[in-house]
Structure 1
């Protein structure tokens, strides 16, 4: 059942099923159609996100368990709201082995375990390798405690009849081998989630494994408790299309959306029986509207002058090679071993080169053959010395597109692209951070209005049930940070001068992080030293330039850690930053309201991430999982419901007004949100208006507000409206097509036919 709109909350031990249930009256008043929650199956003890599932057969006790889940579902039904649940089919958590009963049984009984086939383990290579020791020599520190082998806080089962002798002798008899953590990247023999060895891949392509891992959630769907499912990371699955067909068979009436990240120009496989993606494509399209192409050259020159690499493709290529050559070595070797008739070294080179060259996250052979062909062609061009090996790889994959070789290279290409691009390049190529977003391309400086309308119309025609989003738990920064940063493209010279001056005073000794730090400070201002410090530490390690999560440059990390206090503690410098923020704050608010209204009224099912109905200047996780002040939001909403039209100011109440008006209209008058037609403004400032008509509804939004103001405002620009009387649903005022009047109070308008 497709909802009118969703509201995403991050459940955790501090925000449980019961806490979510308490928010239902507020969400109903806000206008959402469904509550959308992070994973709710049992997870690693203390997990703050829920993606580390340990037992898919029960609702998570730390959230309140089955009784609290059922109560939440009932209260949502009684309020007329849907219930959308995030599910994680690709992997399970094994960090706390005993918390995962299936994994514990596999470690205890090895290939003889009833669950041995549940996990993607290469049993041909012998024991399960567990890289948990500080070093291989640390086996000397093992001890036996009853029927468990213990290494500090880690506990592992002892197979029946193997517990005699020293801890080292006991260890030698097990179905697993504890080794130094560094060996994992090269020798791991179970598939993992990206480079996270504590998340073991699950073989949901097998029907019995699918039913074991999905039975409980599908029971909730069948009983009417759950109305929609969001599928995490489908690109990691062996057969995404087959999985989607099994899921649809088990949930024939549910709304199904998949976290499939589409590169520009890529389409969702049309054979998947789903309603669409989770909306990163819409995020990219909408964000691009508010980026001024004229800012590209000055911001590129700023980056170059500070020592930041400005050839995006070189940076991305280097980052992806880092992933194949150092981070996912075990995966590359496992795939290369499947290439027949090719020397191991050449096979590894061919596999790595092909995955580095992928133009999208993965292909879905035989669908998406053009993407596979493009990767092969690019790999051949880059490494002519490996031409024979690449040709052999290509032939064998095409020969059996559902075989193990084809399956594994497609599963792993998505890991290389995501880890190399999103989690490395986006922290190295920091020319303009507003574009460094999941599903985006930092090399594409903005999007034309024509392109936006074309893609919106295509979504209405092909995927009207797809989710659209501006902020998620995975975005690199919130929508309001991105909206403010977009203003920098309109004042690139001012920003470049400021950054050069600030860098001279207190720059970070690594150009990419330095440029990212100043943008982050401006985009998220005001921000505490603690929040900024946490973000910069993560950014420095993700970039893998001067330090990493595993190989630390302690001196550099100390310098990064002290930077926020030094900058914010320098009264003169902090005042300069604050003054610059004041320059871009109001245009940033205009961008925020504009892209939010577009998202909420354009084709697709809009999602509102927790708390973003007010201004929210969160950064990447875990910053975006901070508690939300719902009491404040409820109080402001009550005033708005009473007729208050708040000013556009630091309270963010104007955004709450826009969200409330758009969501309630979607919920109460769904017939208005069909069809799609671009509307054209006419006059000297026509380029600053984005407008479209649905069915009896017109959205109008301002773009590039700095340029609009500097050009003298709307200056008689009009938007010819379809026949009839029109009222702005946001203000309640009757309107004509004169934009200076229509947008006098707010930079957006939501027009409906009829009188107020």
Structure 2
């Protein structure tokens, strides 16, 4: 439980700033966001990033604001406009890494390449200098041929590989060929294929163009945060969201230092994926996370658990294998540890003393070379297995000892022959929880989890992809109302200032795609029959990819072939079953890329898909409105991802970073303010109405959003309602499992007894009075599948 409760905004609105959405563009959007009821603008990173970056996580110069986004003048104008509208400003920051794809635009990295260990920035980066020259995996696969193509600039101060440039160390470029000069540098250009196994600097996950920085060092923290802290000191920033703290050497120490720097009154969040039942360490002085645990709980209550059996059976039948989610995740994590993250595994193993098992214990000995090699292989295998055993993204020793113990137990179960080595590693970590071995192993476990589970297993294990979401647990088929209420009450009690979310720039599918797919859990038999027939007519090179493809096709329908092709190509490569980013298979890639156009060219099939989507779309929209209302009215500070105030059917990035039609949203909001009550249709104005109604209430009547208690419905259809009260003056109610509700003939005599038997309630969504202390659900939800009931102030 954390009691560090800084003021949180009533809500946030996430805006992805880039050269195409600049500070000036954001200023123009503020009147709309203000009218929508948003409490704070929540901006993606705004420090100088790579040219054309649409996300900002590839910061190349932490000492200045992005010129492409509008520069310092534009930033100041944006802050001033935010203040004029009475809104807060929340900023996403990236402490873990910087972008090094184009060395000359990152002055720190350029200096390190030029001067090596003597560089004034050598300590900035997490580089293994003892391993020899810094390896840069930028050459084509044929390394020997690529090296023959190196050239020197006219003044011999740069090495060139086509459009790429690298510095020549002072005094090393005066004579010789480009290849000879290359051999004198503090770095070596190598094939991109060597990066996974031989890289000598820590990266962001497996992305070699993002180099980790050592913010655990006070002087590095100061220079990487100087500009951001200047903005904080000036009063320009009300809150910070910290990207990927699990990649840091000491996340707890980092957030404590950051809290000390920004003071107690700034809102501070971490992008942290919490496992089911996991909480942030109590010692972290933060207000919460960016909300993925809330996403799992809120979406999950709209999933029918009764659909699990049929969908499980169908997935096993279709793929020809019966595999649990846990087994699939472990296999994917181990594959990642053995391939794309093997450099990290080897670096960790190198911190374990050369040893071999002996009678009476595990003790260092002098070994022959062959025995040393065998010993290193066992240590590397033990490290890889241990990384795959953590039940959470990472432990935080000494607080997270339980997670480490679980990881050791799991690893011993999979590899009992490595029990002695695992025991030695465990003992070393516990003896020095702040040491390099413990730090590197913990920060790498998060990388293995993210790449193995989110970016591999979630594209392989496709029983029901609505659950394959960041922060999700596909093995848990939905969330019961009881579990939902417990989670919401716990959030209000322990983390009332945390952020909640349903869609982010990192989600695999938008909230509305998942809401539509949730309907499949109510009609699993019909879905299985249809998909079996469709996949027979248009097969893909992999059966599990077919499960993924057809679910996403109907979830995002209508979707152009180009968007679907881009998504499927990425998904297949992430799954790594029949093709991959590292080992592409041309004929497989071509077949997958061509599949969407072939499907959309089949007129008969398209007609059937349209008929099926028309059937699930309406209950899907009911789910969308329900989960949106529960998020916006529930505990925590809700975030709205750009554009999702209308129904928005996007898939994983870059699909979810497409331009937003702001003019349409402005026009619809103006019509709503004139008293229009739209239908729940494809236009999406009904979702905008629900969003604006809840955001405005949160902003202008914050006192009613306190406390939490379930409000159970009574009657024959009670299981189809989920409702809660905030204070004694607000009740939110939503419809769940709408297909089942319709099949049983509607609400019947079901009623919703309101708190304390009061009858003076008003639905702010429809602007109508609600009659009685226990209104009939059929009346309360006669217009929309949701209601937000409020008593007068």
Question: In which range does the TM-score fall when normalised by the shorter chain?
Answer: over 0.9
Distance across 2 between alignment mates of 1:442 and 1:453: 20
Corresponding residue to 2:329 among 302, 316, 320: 316
Matches within 5 A, 1:50-89: 50-89=56-95
Partner Cα distance (2:769, 2:77) in 1: 44
Residue 268 of structure 2 corresponds to 256
Query: Partners of 1:603 and 1:317 in 2: how far apart?
Result: 34
Alignment of 1:246-395 (within 5 A): 246-252=257-263, 253-307=265-319, 309=321, 310-342=323-355, 343-395=375-427
User: 2:354, 2:483 → 1: CA distance?
Assistant: 47
Secondary structure at the aligned position of 1:63 is classed as coil
For 2:718 and 2:702, the matched residues in 1 are separated by 29
The 2-side partners of 1:573 and 1:268 are apart by 48
Distance in structure 1 (CA, Å) of the matches to 2:314 and 2:211: 43
Give the SS at the match of 1:417: helix
Between the aligned partners of 1:524 and 1:184, the Cα distance in structure 2 is 36
Query: Any conservation in 1 of the 2:541–2:578 contact (CA below 8 Å)?
Result: no
Give the distance between the partners of 1:496 and 1:509, measured in 2 at CA.
19
Q: Take 2:657 and 2:520, find their aligned partners in 1: how far apart are those partners? A: 27
Any conservation in 2 of the 1:308–1:431 contact (CA below 8 Å)?
A: no
2:138 alignment counterpart: 132
Residue 679 of structure 1: aligned partner: 711
131, 151, 159: which one aligns with 2:169: 159
Match of 1:194 in 2: 205
How big is each residue's C-alpha offset from its partner over 1:555-575, in whole Å with a ceiling of 9 and x where there is no partner?
A: 111111111111111000000
From 732, 742, 747, the counterpart of 1:699? 732
Structure 1: distance between partners of 2:420 and 2:593: 49
TM-score (norm 2): 0.94
2:557 to 508, 525, 528: 525
5 Å matches for 1:410-449?
410-449=442-481
Task: State the alpha-carbon separation in 1 of the partners of residues 425 and 353 from structure 2.
Answer: 8
Distance (Å, rounded) in 1 between the aligned partners of 2:688 and 2:194: 51
Unaligned runs of 5+ in 1: none
Query: 2:16 maps to what in 1?
Result: 10
TM-score normalised to the size of structure 1?
0.99
Report the CA distance between 1:660 and its aligned residue.
0.3
Secondary structure, counterpart of 2:746 in structure 1: coil
Please give the residue correspondences for 1:464-613 in structure 2 after superposition, counting only pairs within 5 Å: 464-613=496-645
Residue 716 of structure 1 aligns with which residue?
Answer: 749
The Cα offsets for residues 467-522 of structure 1, whole Å up to 9 and x where unpaired, read as 00000000000000000000000010111110011011112131111111110111
Post-superposition Cα deviations, 1:415-445, rounded to whole Å, max 9, x if no partner, equal 0010000000000001101000000011110
Aligned pair 1:731/2:774, yes or no? Answer: no
Residue 252 of structure 2 is aligned with which of 223, 241, 248? 241
- 1:642: how far off? 1.2
Q: Partner of 2:197: helix, strand, or coil?
A: helix
1:594 and 1:539 map into 2 onto residues whose CA distance is 29
Distance 2:195 2:514 in 1: 37
The alignment status of 1:172 with 2:172, answered yes or no, reads no
The C-alpha deviation readout for 1:62-96, integer Å capped at 9, x for no partner, is 10110000100000011101111110000001000
CA distance in 1 between partners of 2:416 and 2:139 (Å): 41
Match of 1:44 among 38, 46, 50: 50
CA deviation map 1:232-272 (0-9, x unaligned)? 00000000000001111111121111100001111111111
Number of equivalent positions: 755
Residue 223 of structure 1, aligned match among 234, 250, 274: 234
For the 8 Å contact 1:681–1:720, the answer to whether it is kept is: yes
| Structure 2, unpaired ranges of 5+ | 1-6, 356-374
Q: 2:222 aligns with which of 211, 214, 222?
A: 211
Q: What is the deviation of 1:552?
A: 1.0
Shift of 1:152: 0.9
Shift of 1:550: 2.0
Tell whether 2:792 aligns with 1:754: yes
* Cα drift, residue 308 of structure 1: 5.6
Contact in 1 for aligned 2:354/2:376 (Cα 8 Å): no
In structure 1, the partner of 2:435 is: 403
> Contact 1:308–1:512 (CA<8 Å) still a contact in 2?
no
| Contact 2:98–2:210 (Cα < 8 Å) also in 1 | yes
Give the alignment partner of residue 142 of structure 1, picking from 150, 153, 167: 150
